[in-house]
Amino acid sequence: MNVVIVGNGLAGTLAAKTIRELDDNVEIEIFGEERYPYYPRPNLIEYLAGRLPSTKLFAFPEGWAERQRIVVRLGEKVTRIRPGERKIETVSGLERFYDVLLLATGARAALPRVEGIAQPGVFVLRTLDDANGLIDHLGTHKRVAVLGGGLLGLEIARAIRSRDAEVSVIEYFDRLLPRQLDPAAAAILKSHFEKSGISVRLATVVREVLGSGAVQGLRFESGDRLEADTVIVAAGIVPDVGPAKDAGLEVGRGIVVDDLLRTSVPTVFAAGDVAEHRGRIHGIIPAAFEQARAAAYGMLGQNKPYGGTVPFNTLKVAGLYLTSVGEIDAQGEGYEALVRSLPEAGLYKKIVLRGGRLVGGIWMGTKKGAAEISRLVAAEKHVEALKKDLLEDDFDFSEIT
Amino acid sequence: MDKYECTACGYIYDPAAGDPDNGIPAGTRFEDLPDTWVCPQCGVPKDLFVKIG
Ligand SMILES: Cc1cc2nc3c(=O)[nH]c(=O)nc-3n(C[C@H](O)[C@H](O)[C@H](O)COP(=O)(O)OP(=O)(O)OC[C@H]3O[C@@H](n4cnc5c(N)ncnc54)[C@H](O)[C@@H]3O)c2cc1C
Ligand SMILES: [Fe+2]
C-alpha cells in the first residue's frame, strides 16, 4: 500500500509517524513546499526573539525520517491532484500514484485588504523563510507596527521587542483578547505590555500602509498616522485549499472532512489547519495533532472517529498565564462577579456566579487554582458559601468536592 | 537526567524543574512521568516527545 502526504508541517509529519507506528510495510512519501524538515511553528517565536539557534528549530533528530522509512521530498510543491486516476503532480514534474492521499497543506497568513499592503517591508510570520526575511529586515529597520493584537500578534511584538526594536501593536477591537478577557483584565494585560516598552493602540482601523517600495508608516481611519519601517501582519489564517479546490473536492473555508477525516473523495483525507470539520477550522496544534492521528488510522482502514477538539483554556501570553472559562463578562439579573486584582503584579482573578453557581472565571498571572476553577465552572458548582475564599491565593480546592 | 522536547510545539521538559503546575515535582525523570501526563504547553501525549539529551 502506498500513502502520499501533501505538506510536511505538523499534521503531515505526525500522520506519517502514526502510520508507521501502526504498520511496518506501508510506503509513505511526503511532499513539502518548504525547504526545511518539519519544525514546530511556536519555535519561530523563540527564534525571532534570538533565544533559539536555527539548529534547534527542528523537532526530530537528523536521519529520523529515513530510519522510519518515510520518504520526504522538500521544496517540492504539489501543484495538481487527479483524484480520478489517484495521482498527484509536483512543481518539478514528478508524478505519483497513491492508494490513499492526505492533504495536510495547512494555512497561510491572512492579509487584510488594505491599500499598500503588498510592498517590501510588510511581513507575516508563518514559516522559517518568513522569520529569516523578517530578522534580516529588522537589522536596519527597527520601527515596527504589528497589525493584530491577538495571541500571535502579541507574541511577535514581545519577541521583536527583545531585539531592541520600537514596537506598536495595532488592534481593531477596543481591548486585547476580547474573547478571553473582560475590560479590566485586558487593561492589566495592556499595561503589562506597555511596561515592557511596547505601545498598544486599541479600537484602531488601518486604512493604508504608507510608502512606495519601502514602508513608511500607517494611516488610520481616524486620520492619524504612525511612522514605521516594518509592518508585521498577524490577522488570522487562510487554509491552503488550492490544489484540493482545483481537483473538485468539496471546499468551504477549508477542505470539508467528516469524522473520519475523509474528504468528499473517499481515498483522499485532510487534516490540520486546512481541514474544515463540522464547520470549524481550528488552527491550533492540539486539533492538528488529533486530526492527523485519526486520519492516520482512517487511511489504514482502522476507523478512529474524531469528535472535535476542546481548546486548552490555559494559555501563556507574553509570559503571563491566562485561564479563561465560561461566561467571563456576564452581567445583569442573577449574575454576580467577584474580582481580586493586583494590577502591579499582573494578577487578576475573577469568578462569575449565577444563582450561586460558578459559570465563568478568569485567572491571569497565575496558574495556581486555574485547573480547579476550570473544572468547577464545567460542573457549574454551587459555591455561594465559599465564593470569597475562592479568590484567595492559598485557597484549598479540596474543600470543594 | 535527560531533557525531552515536544515535537508538536517545542516545549522542553527539564527533569530538574519538573512540572510543578501540574503536580510533577522537580527531579522527576521523563520516564517516570505518568502516562496521563500531557505537554503543558500544547496538550499532546508523552509519546510525542523526543530525547534531546
Ligand atoms: C509563529 C506561530 C506560532 C504558533 N503558536 C501556536 C501555539 O502556541 N499553540 C497552538 O496551538 N498553535 C500555534 N500555532 C498554530 C500552529 O502552528 C498550527 O495549528 C499548525 O502548524 C498546523 O499544522 P498543519 O500541519 O496543519 O499546517 P502547517 O503547519 O501550515 O503545515 C503545512 C505545510 O504544508 C506545506 N504545503 C502547503 N501547500 C503545499 C503543496 N501544495 N504542496 C506541498 N506542500 C504544501 C506548507 O508549506 C507547510 O509547510 C502557531 C503558528 C505560528 C505561525
Ligand atoms: Fe507541546
A314-399 under CATH 3.65.10.10, yes or no:
no
CA-based nearest distance A40→chain B, Å = 5
Asked, colleague to colleague, whether A122-233 and A314-399 share their fold, the answer is no
Q: How far apart are CA B43 and CA A92, in angstroms?
A: 38
A292 close to ligand 1 (CB < 6 Angstrom):
no
Q: What is the pLDDT of residues A114-128, one digit of tens each?
A: 999 999 999 999 999
Axis crossing angle, helix A183-195 with helix A151-161, rounded to the nearest 10: 20
Percent of chain A residues past pLDDT 70, beyond the cut: 100
C-alpha cell at A220: 488610520
- Locate the domains of chain A by residue range: 2-107+238-299, 122-233, 314-399
Q: Quick one: pLDDT at residue A176? A: 95
Instruction: Let me know the angle formed at the C-alpha of A376 by A370 and A379, rounded to the nearest 5 degrees.
Output: 145
- Using the beta-carbon criterion (under 8 Å), do A40 and B43 form an inter-chain contact? no
Confidence of residue A317 (pLDDT cuts 50, 70, 90): confident
Three-state DSSP class for A232? strand
Window 24-53 of B, Cβ < 8 Å to A: 41-44, 48, 50
Query: A352 CB contacts (<8 Å, ≥6 apart)?
Result: A326, A327, A328, A329, A330, A335, A336, A337, A358, A359, A360, A361
Flag if B8 and A285 touch (Cβ within 8 Å): yes
* DSSP notation for B22-39: GTB-TT--GGGS-TT-B-
Residue position matching grid coordinates 487554582: A369
Residue bearing cell 517516570: B32
Q: What's the mean pLDDT in A157-175?
A: 96
| Beta-bridge mates of residue A89 | A80, A95
Does 3.40.50.1980 match the CATH number of domain A2-107+238-299?
A: no
Ligand nearest to the backbone CA of A59: 2
Contact A224, A237 (CB under 8 A): no
Which residue from B minimizes the CA distance to A290? B44
Is there an atom of ligand 1 within 6 Å of A369 CB?
A: no
The number of C-beta contacts closer than 8 angstroms across A and B is 43
* Span A89-106, pLDDT tens digits: 999 999 999 999 999 999
Q: List the single residue in B with minimal CA-CA distance to A56.
A: B10
Residue ranges of alpha helices (H) inside A275-332 are: 285-299
Neighbours of ion ligand 2 (CB under 5 A): B 6, 8-9, 11, 39, 41-42
Q: Which three cell numbers stand for residue A383?
A: 459555591
Nearest alpha carbon, ligand 1 atom 31: A9
Q: Which ligand is nearest to the CA of A102?
A: 1
Q: How many CB atoms lie within 10 A of CB A196?
A: 14
Q: What is the distance between the alpha carbons of residues A170 and B25, in angstroms, rounded to a whole number?
A: 41
Residue A74 buriedness (CB in 10 A; 0-12 / 13-18 / 19+) = middle
* pLDDT above 90: residue A88: yes
State the helix-helix crossing angle for A10-22 and A285-299, rounded to 10 degrees.
40
Spatial CB neighbours of A280, under 8 Å, sequence gap ≥ 6: A308
Neighbour tally for A44: CB within 10 Å: 24
Instruction: Summarize the confidence of residues A327-332 as an average pLDDT.
Output: 88
* End-to-end Cα distance, chain B: 8
The reported pLDDT for the residue numbered A399 is 81
Per-residue pLDDT, B22: 83
Amino acid present at A286: P
Ligand 1 site, residue A290, Cβ cutoff 6 A: no
Least-confidence region, from A3-17, A186-200, A360-374:
A360-374
Closest-CA residue to A327 (of A302, A348, A354):
A354
Among candidate residues A291, A322, A303, the one with its CA nearest the CA of residue A103: A291
A65 HSE (CA, 13 A, CB side): 21
pLDDT of residue A311: 76
| A139/A118 Cα distance (integer angstroms) | 21
Domain A122-233 CATH assignment equals 3.10.450.50 = no
| Residue B33 pLDDT | 96
